[in-house]
Chain A
Amino acid sequence: MSGAIVAFWLQHAPVLSVVLPLLTAVVLLLIGDAGGMAGQGGAHDDAPLRWRRRISLASASLGLLMALGLVQHATGGELLVYRLGDWPAPFGIVMVVDRLSALMVLLTYLVAVPVLWYAASGWDARGRYFHAVFQFQLMGLSGAFLTGDLFNLFVFFEVLLIASYVLLVHGQGRERFRMGVHYVVLNLVASGLFLVGLSLVYAATGTLNMADVGQRLAQLQDPHLLFARVAALVLLVVFGLKAAMLPLYFWLPGTYAAASAPVAALFAIMTKVGVYSIVRVHWQLFGSEAGSAALAVADWLLPLALTTSVLGVLGALAAHTMGRLVAYLTVSSVGTILAGVGLFTPQALSAALYYTLHSTIVIAGLFLLVELIAAQRGDAVDRLQPAHAVREPVVLGVMMLFGAASAAGLPPLPGFLGKLMVLEASSGLLAQAWVWSVVLGVGFLTIVGLARAGVIVFWHVQPVGGAVTSGSSRRLLAPVWAFMALTLALAVLASPVKRYTDAAAAQLSAPADYVRSVLGADALGRSTTRPYGGRRAPMSQEKPP
């Protein structure tokens, strides 16, 4: 029986990771959500809410198990290719599990399960259909990471964005709607540009299958080459907006600070979708093997990334609330990750992937922690101004210290290891001086910013006016502990994790294997598609000799 289940899973693994959250979301929609009862205190104990929580958590846990299975399978290096409807690639849509996709799906679920757990102790009752939308978000994220088709990537982007629009305004309130309008409009413009970039890729290569695009790019001649280079730059703008890269990050701090705590924590993975897409498109497809179109964005990516990192940390220093502080740390960490990506060596990419794991987990934990602290500071909430002491200074202070130390990159926490890897990977390269000064300087300023917040919140307390608030419930603390434990695990297991990211980077730098797995063993170097010319060849010529 269990053997049959495993065999079934192995056969359909990529699509199951998308279908599971989809079906769960549909079930949750069918159960319905009366909502609106939280204000009257009636929603906490009603049975449907408890069932929604159980279904959502069970589904996310199952998804986590499947993601672990994907990583386990990908470790071997063999690609899992799933042809939807059994249409042959590149004509149908394929889903591909390589080491990078499996890792990103696992990271999504590692963030999603504790966040869902946290949300299940109250936030999900402050609006309607939280769990259903959350599952749609997971579906969009998994799909975006697993798809092997550029247009399909756009579609999954839209799925996860629409879910994120609704999640952002979850809990409602004036500030959320205001930031929601900005966020939605910006992302709609980005979606339009995404389509422009995709159609330019199609005009240049005549295909949208990632493996096929990568192969065609190397063969392009002059008029089409220009299309491809323009497409690469347009797509960098789109992914840069999602990832919050330099001129395009101004939306992020306000938006993340306005979102409810669990949503902001989940959004820690959203910027990484942009990073993933940059790696997939600009590293793999437009990588060093793409002939004359190779590295079309190399001149831009590294300087923009380093500047993002610096401006992000300056924003963190100037932040007047803890929510904005953590949001600016997100921007700063994305800068560090993209610097690793922008060095365009496998070693630096591996370091960037390790740092991605660390920064996503730490920042998600910090967003949750900020709300726990804010809840005990009375009217001051999360503003960085002196207020009465928190009720649980020891527990929250230790958590804050731990998160801050890892975000800033103090040994022996994984933030330190990640930064060390980036530094090591850049040594000997032309940009070494820039990368070293920026990464180390940003680390120092991060310590200053977080220390300032810690001093104000925990030490600079006013003895009077301490309204007695209750402590954090264990159900709220547990998810934050879970993020701390994950951070610690990332440091303890640094060696196997690093081996995996090294292998993932190596896999991405050898796109020939990817092409062979997706398009068939004899596809390499064969001209598969070209921009459509309107003439139909007789069927017999289509067959390979």
Chain B
Amino acid sequence: MSMEFLVATGVGMVTATGVYLMLRGRSFPVVLGLSLFGYAVNVFIFLMGRLWTNAAPILVGEGPVADPLPQALVLTAIVIGFATTGFVVELALRSRHEAGSDHVDGHEPGGPRS
């Protein structure tokens, strides 16, 4: 089994788990799903710079060097993902407070709408 296959399968599984959780009806699993999806996307960005073994992460000496650009992209993506996850947690809490239900539709299934 190649390294590529292993990492690609891992990304696929994490994405699948994230999508499954995002399709739940409560806001907590949805937020968890978003986070997992975000992790999968971040690793995916790394993969798109190819997998490197025995390569320096930064420019040193004469040997091969891993692609530096995806590292910078991932860093930006992580920072933005962290901020937005923080925001969505706060928003979900506030929505739970306003609606009295943590269902994403703002009311319990089958319960009164308003």
Contacts and interface: CB of A to CB of B under 8 A. Distances in A.
A429 interface: no
A155 B76 contact: yes
A169 interface: yes
B76 A165 contact: no
B51 to A, nearest CB: 11
A181 interface: yes
Given A177-B94, A199-B70, A184 B106 contact: no
Interface residues on B, range: 35 or more
B74 to A, nearest CB: 9
Given A151-B76, A189-B37, A535-B64, A184 B45 contact: no
B46 to A, nearest CB: 9
A319 B4 CA distance: 51
Q: From DSSP, what is the main secondary structure of chain A's interface residues?
A: helix
A158 B84 contact: yes
Interface in B22-50: 22, 27, 30, 34, 37-38, 41-42, 44-45, 47-50
Contact of A185 (B34, B38, B42, B76): B34
Q: From DSSP, what is the main secondary structure of chain B's interface residues?
A: helix
Contacts of A180: 91, 95
Interface residues of A, number: 33
Nearest to B62: A536
Contacts of B87: 162, 165, 184
Given A195-B77, A199-B73, A534-B55, A181 B98 contact: no
A181 B93 CA distance: 10
Given A177-B95, A181-B95, A185-B30, A202 B69 contact: yes
A203 B8 CA distance: 15
Interface in A215-265: none
Contacts of B91: 165, 169, 177, 180-181, 184
Interface of A: 151, 155, 158, 162, 165, 169, 172-175, 177-178, 180-182, 184-185, 188-189, 191-192, 195-196, 198-200, 202-203, 531-532, 534-536
22 contacts: A155-B76, A158-B84, A169-B91, A174-B99, A177-B99, A177-B106, A178-B106, A181-B27, A181-B91, A184-B88, A185-B22, A188-B85, A189-B22, A192-B37, A195-B42, A196-B44, A202-B49, A202-B69, A202-B70, A202-B73, A532-B67, A534-B66
